[in-house]
Structure 1
Amino acid sequence: MPGLRTFLGCLLLGTCLVAPPALAQENLKSLQDFRATGTDLTLKTVPQDPTMLAQLRKNLEKVKLPPGFKIDVYAIVPDARHMAIGRNVGTVFVGTRKTDVWAVTDRDKDRRGEEVKRFAPSVNFKVPNGMCMSPDGILHVAEHNRLLAFPAAEFFYEGPDVAVAVVKDHFLPKEEEHFNHGARVCAIGPDNKLYVSLGQPYNVWPHEKGPKTEPYGTIQRMNRDGTGQETYAMGIRNSVGVAFNPADKMLWFTDNQVDGMGDDTPPGELNRVTQAGQNFGHPWYGGGKVRTEDWAKDEAPADVVFPEVEMDAHAADLGMTFYTGQMFPAQYKGGIFSAQHGSWNRTTPVGARVMFTKVGPDGKAAGTEVFASGWLDDKTGEYLGRPVDVQQYLDGSLLVSDDTAGAIYRISYTGQ
């Protein structure tokens, strides 16, 4: 039987992927050859504690939704960040900003994930925040400075050893790694290429470094085998949410803007990329059309693309998805659901909610409104939860991850 390198060569555009020798200690070479690593067969699991589930549901009683919608706990998932949905079993793969990737399974199909276990424990993950699933069923995990691919993830995930390939070993030089703004996200484009966002590590890009920030503050595009990496969009501060509009194939992304400029400025952003190479304004602009102090005396590029939607300042807009399901009312079809994690440095906190942006026939934003709110206690400023990502489940319901409460919620529509 040919090794996994040959197998992945067929899947990933005919190119054989070989793990660098330095990564041998991470079991990757063995996994690429379909060889057991000796990892304990007893996988780490997360108990779905009834007491904690009851308290989470009590917290959700405070969440406000439009008429006909309801929200419930899908599963307890520690540090839950970005998600990808399996296309066959409906396994929910969940990233974290630590070292765990979780696989959540609804075995009895009651729309609750009763089994939560560690995915691929024989792989040493480092900030595996970003999850994206290709149309042909390959799970991609965007780490701090590496991109991994797991073919047939829903087949192998029951055991500790999984088929894996290193798509990209480094997005940027090892010596340039920074912990700030290091949570990556990814997407598969309609061109069958990989898109990965790389936040820049500063509040404002330092003036003494000059205006060229690449690959920081960009969305990188590459072939499915990791070759041909190029900058697709630039002038971005820190995007932790990307998605393609299935109607016109355009890439949209959220962007977190500059801190320390005041409670109500600059705005957060929801952006639309209409062609490769566009510049979205950082570091000349702190958000929207608000200039940064460090770069205020410099002439900004004439071709800066301003956001489709200006969100509340410091609400921390993160994960997003286009709704294509049949469960929700027609007015939500083709629109964007996006998560606001909530502010950390605003005098009066704002955020911790799910937003909905309608997209018009011309492909542009046609109005934004609050869809789900209530995780922020307005009186005390305490967060009962902080949404990170939103993804459409197989039945058309909406899953919302929460890294503070350590949970995934499911929003469904009953029409009553």
Structure 2
Amino acid sequence: MGFYDVFARAVALVGAGAIRWRRLQGATPAQAVGTAPQIPAGQPQGAIPTLKMPTARGWSAGQVPAAAPGLKVNAFADGLKHPRWVQVLPNGDVTVAEALQSAGRPRTLFDHAMVATMQRAAAIGESPNRITLLRDADGDGVAEQRHVLLQQLNQPFGMALVGDTFYVGNTDGVMAYPYTPGATQITSPGRRLSTYKTRGHWTRSLLPSRDGRRLYVGVGSLSNIAEHGFEAEEGRACIQELDLATGRERTFASGLRNPVGLAWEPVTGRLWTVVNERDGLGDETPPDYLTSVSDGGFYGWPYCYWGKTVDDRVPQDPAKVASALQPDFALGGHTASLGLCWMPAGTLPGFEVDGMVIGQHGSWNRSKLSGYKVVFVPFANGRPSGAVRDILWGFLAPDESVSYGRPVGVAIGPDGRSLLVADDVGDVVWRVTAAA
């Protein structure tokens, strides 16, 4: 047993004690969800925040996630290495970004604790740094062909195809590659369109504008609450807009701690994102959220959350707090909502209204784990219009000790009648479709 294994076990024991103590301080709060969530007052957890993470086990032979009534699940592709994001191309091919967070250099005892815990959860390690192309040529719902489309990348995540150019969001910037429909390999070195700071929240999701002229890029923060200084956070915790013709880049919206999934809502044409909020204030404080994004909008991080609720741990700027916009829909505390896609009504049986599908990767900063499932938020007239519904669950053992998988990226399948889900602990892309 290595050092980090022993350290992780020690961290788990200390964390379990801290969790028990915090539970004695009061009842577990109800989940903060919806347009008007009940968010408990923040209780700073200090230098040793609640740290609870299941051990990554993976799926046994024949084991699959549980699905909503009327749905079935099969492995579209398995045997991948930490698949994080999926992109469906016009010809029906599916590209998968395979990447892992690097450990970096721990600076504090808590950093060491996080590295140990994340390693046990299979969330940190040697990154494959590639994009794999999957092809289901016979249309049976299983990809029988697999090709390495791009390799030797730098923690790739978001992907987008605009015309004959395939864009990749590496952690250090956006790259552009020439693409030929049906190609199974890209050998061009590509060209760099932007450069971003690395470390911290490393994912760079991509979404083209409707006219294909611009690319929107999610860039997460370096830290939890800007504890390394505000200068280190410049150009981060935001959505960037990249003009593909001129190469000019600007900040489209800011104050978004870690905006990952990006999607267009077709009724209003507005951009939406899911955001991972800050840690260390309690199980439900503050909630992660789904929100529309306004050009020039500021959403509070790090000064405040859910509108104008001040975080006293941060040196304050009253003008920034006064300008903060309130998100649209709370998703519960620390669900790690990452994946996002628009799902038209009737794509899956039982889901007969339009809405957003969200891949919830799952919490670590809670006494009772949350997330670890794929959910649906119904929409009407361009806005969330009802309660969250589960699509997939069962990624987490009932006693919360192990995870079989953790869902991340979501996308409507090539046939328009299925949902694809990247599972980075299970090393599989799941396909959800009608049971009959």
The answer on 1:398 being equivalent to 2:419 is yes
Say if 1:318 and 1:388, in contact at 8 Å, map to a contact too.
yes
Alpha-carbon distance in structure 2 between the residues aligned to 1:383 and 1:53: 7
Shift of 1:65: 2.4
Distance 1:321 1:54, change over 3 A: closer
Alignment of structure 1 residues 7-406 onto 2, 5 Å? 55=60, 57-58=62-63, 60=64, 63-76=65-78, 77-97=80-100, 98=127, 99-121=129-151, 124-134=152-162, 136=163, 138-157=165-184, 159=185, 161-163=186-188, 165-171=190-196, 177-192=197-212, 193-206=214-227, 209=230, 213-225=233-245, 227-273=247-293, 275-287=294-306, 290-295=309-314, 298-299=317-318, 300-324=320-344, 327-329=347-349, 331-361=351-381, 363-367=382-386, 368-396=388-416, 397-406=418-427
Q: Is the 8 A contact 1:353 1:372 kept in 2?
A: yes
* Cα deviation digits, residues 129-161 of structure 1 (max 9, x gap): 112233x3532110011212233354332x4x4
Deviations 1:157-214 (A, max 9, x none): 2x4x43463241413xxxxx3311011101001242100011110110248537x944
- By how many angstroms is 1:120 displaced? 2.4
Question: How many angstroms does 1:313 deviate by?
Answer: 0.7
- State the aligned residue count: 348
Equivalence for 1:408: 429
List runs of 5+ in structure 2 lacking aligned partners: 1-56, 101-126
Q: Which has the higher contact order (CA 8 A, sep 6+)?
A: 2
Kept in 1, the 8 Å contact 2:83–2:96? The answer is no
Contact kept in structure 2, 1:80 and 1:96, CA below 8 Å: yes
In the alignment, the residues of structure 1 paired with residue 192 and residue 228 of structure 2 have an alpha-carbon distance, to the nearest angstrom, of 33
- Give the percent of matched residue pairs that are identical in Structure 1 and Structure 2: 26
Q: Is the 8 A contact 2:264 2:342 kept in 1?
A: yes
Partners of 1:79 and 1:53 in 2: how far apart?
Answer: 11
Moved more, 72-81 or 222-231: 222-231
Gaps of 5+ in 1: 1-51, 172-176
Q: Distance in 2 between matches of 1:283 and 1:194?
A: 25
Q: CA 1:162–1:208 in 2, change beyond 3 Å: closer, same or farther? A: closer
Query: Once the 2 structures are TM-superposed, how far is the Cα of residue 357 of structure 1 from its aligned partner?
Result: 0.8
CA contact (8 A) 2:215 2:241 kept: yes
Offset of 1:116 from its aligned partner? 2.6
8 A contact 1:268–1:288 mirrored in 2? no
Q: Which has the higher strand share?
A: 2
| 2:154 maps to amino acid | K
Tell me by how many angstroms 1:241 deviates: 0.9
Deviations 1:336-371 (A, max 9, x none): 00100001232221111011011111x111122222
Q: Within 2, Cα distance between the matches of 1:137 and 1:375?
A: 37
How much has 1:91 moved relative to structure 2? 3.1
Q: Is the 8 A contact 1:104 1:113 kept in 2?
A: yes
Deviations 1:43-99 (A, max 9, x none): xxxxxxxxx9983531x1xx3322211111111121101111111142334342331
Q: What's the CA shift string for 1:357-411, capped at 9, x where partnerless?
A: 11111x1111222222111112133211000011001212000001111110000
Q: Any conservation in 1 of the 2:77–2:430 contact (CA below 8 Å)?
A: yes
